[in-house]
Structure 1
Amino acid sequence: MDTVIRQRIKGLRLAKGWSLDALAARCFLSPSTLSRIETGHRRIALDQLVPLAKALGTTLDQLVEPTSDEDVVIRPEPEHQQGLTSWLLSREHSANGTTVAKMRITSERSMADVDRSVHPGREWFTVLSGTVSLLLGDRTILVHEGQAAEFSTMVPHLVAAHDGPVEILSIFDHGGERAHLHPPERLS
């Protein structure tokens, strides 16, 4: 783990274009101490990590987070609703507050059966295949394969298939995830 932390410190320093002297001055260490930390010739103390993380514009948690293959590979399982299959492509409760999902929408998703949702935030999607019929307020906008759409979610909206199935890749904020991937049960 020490090796990973050392690589992160050096990598962040170099990404900012800083010399050892520049980073050392920002975190109140000597350049020789910082050099020995980066090269592994000195143990890293907690009282050194906190000012290093702050100077590098990151958090202590991010600087020392463990690495494993489990943190990298996501194995999405399809979730089915009538006319809609979605695959969650990001971790639930991600740190940046966004959710990435692939969705396949078919004509079985009746526009009469789906409420046009409204929630705070913005949504973005790109069309992987087919054509989307985006109902946005009073407008219907066709979004074709290879195109993307971004819009305020305070406008009533619905994403539907136009003339055949459609696949999209979408990014939702927390409100969008709840509204589109985990909708409440409809009352009859």
Structure 2
Amino acid sequence: MKQDQELEAVVRQRIRGLRVARGWSLDEMAARTLLSPSTISRIETGHRRIALDQMAAIARALDTSIDQLVEPVGDEDVVIRPHNHPERGITTWVLSRGSGQTVAKMRITRKVPAELRVHPGHDWFTVLSGTIELRLGDRTILVGTNEAAEFSTMVPHAFGAYDGPAEVLCILDHAGERSHLHGPERDL
């Protein structure tokens, strides 16, 4: 019971915070949700429980989801720790996941693998430091600091560090994440 009350308080705080962040008055929020301003006020202040249909209308108006509104407040570790794969010559920091894409920072120390791989999708990366040697089909492309590359991963490809370690920030779709971030048997 106490957990339910704590979650409701968090949801109320999120609703009010999102409304205020958009600069909306209670009247503007009411017009967007088709609820009365007094209903919105009572929901935000805890004088009224939030019905599911009201929460759906509020989430829609605030351009969020019910899942995001009710997401529990966790004590999870907010520090992103590296995952070192010395056998692959790669260290990764997964920065975010969602919307079918993963953003990761990678430190690459190994040379380009001899075997080129393919998988569905597209990869994108920008080089933060060093130089990446990208093998894309029959081509070899050097991508230096502050340069970026984007390519179809249906083209046989691999990349590695050129003349010393390199760090990249990459955006991977689901297939790219599986191929590049999981399992020691996989290579870029």
**Counterpart amino acid of 2:37?**
P
Q: Percent sequence identity over matched residues?
A: 63
| Distance change (3 Å), C-alpha of 1:81 and 1:101 | farther
| Distance change (3 Å), C-alpha of 1:124 and 1:152 | same
Question: Match of 1:87?
Answer: 92
Q: 2:33 aligns with which of 3, 27, 32?
A: 27
Cα distance, 1:62 vs. partner? 1.0
Question: Match of 2:104?
Answer: 101
Q: Tell me the matched-pair count.
A: 180
Question: Match of 1:178?
Answer: 178
- Hey, what's the Cα distance between the residues in 1 that align with 2:185 and 2:134? 23
Structure 2, gaps ≥5 residues long: 1-6
Matched, 1:55 2:57: no
Cα distance, 1:173 vs. partner? 1.0
Is 2:128–2:146's contact at 8 Å kept on the other side of the alignment? Answer: yes
Question: Match of 1:121?
Answer: 121
Q: 2:14 aligns with which of 1, 8, 11?
A: 8
Is 2:113–2:159's contact at 8 Å kept on the other side of the alignment? Answer: no
| Distance change (3 Å), C-alpha of 1:185 and 1:106 | closer
Is 2:95–2:102's contact at 8 Å kept on the other side of the alignment? Answer: yes
Cα distance, 1:37 vs. partner? 1.9
**What TM-score does the superposition give when structure 2 sets the normalisation length?**
0.79
**Counterpart amino acid of 2:128?**
L
Question: Match of 2:3?
Answer: none
CA shift digits 1:23-66 (9 cap, x unpaired): 21332311111122223443333342122123323221111111
Matched, 1:165 2:170: no
Q: Secondary structure at the match of 2:127?
A: strand
- Hey, what's the Cα distance between the residues in 1 that align with 2:77 and 2:113? 38
**What TM-score does the superposition give when structure 1 sets the normalisation length?**
0.79
Q: 1:111 aligns with which of 106, 113, 121?
A: 113
Cα distance, 1:67 vs. partner? 1.6
**Counterpart amino acid of 1:53?**
A
**Counterpart amino acid of 2:130?**
G
Cα distance, 1:175 vs. partner? 0.7
**Counterpart amino acid of 2:84?**
P
| Distance change (3 Å), C-alpha of 1:18 and 1:140 | same
**Counterpart amino acid of 2:174?**
H
Is 1:105–1:165's contact at 8 Å kept on the other side of the alignment? Answer: yes
Is 2:112–2:159's contact at 8 Å kept on the other side of the alignment? Answer: no
Cα distance, 1:184 vs. partner? 7.6
Is 2:125–2:148's contact at 8 Å kept on the other side of the alignment? Answer: yes
* Alignment RMSD: 2.6
- Hey, what's the Cα distance between the residues in 2 that align with 1:127 and 1:156? 20
| Distance change (3 Å), C-alpha of 1:50 and 1:96 | same
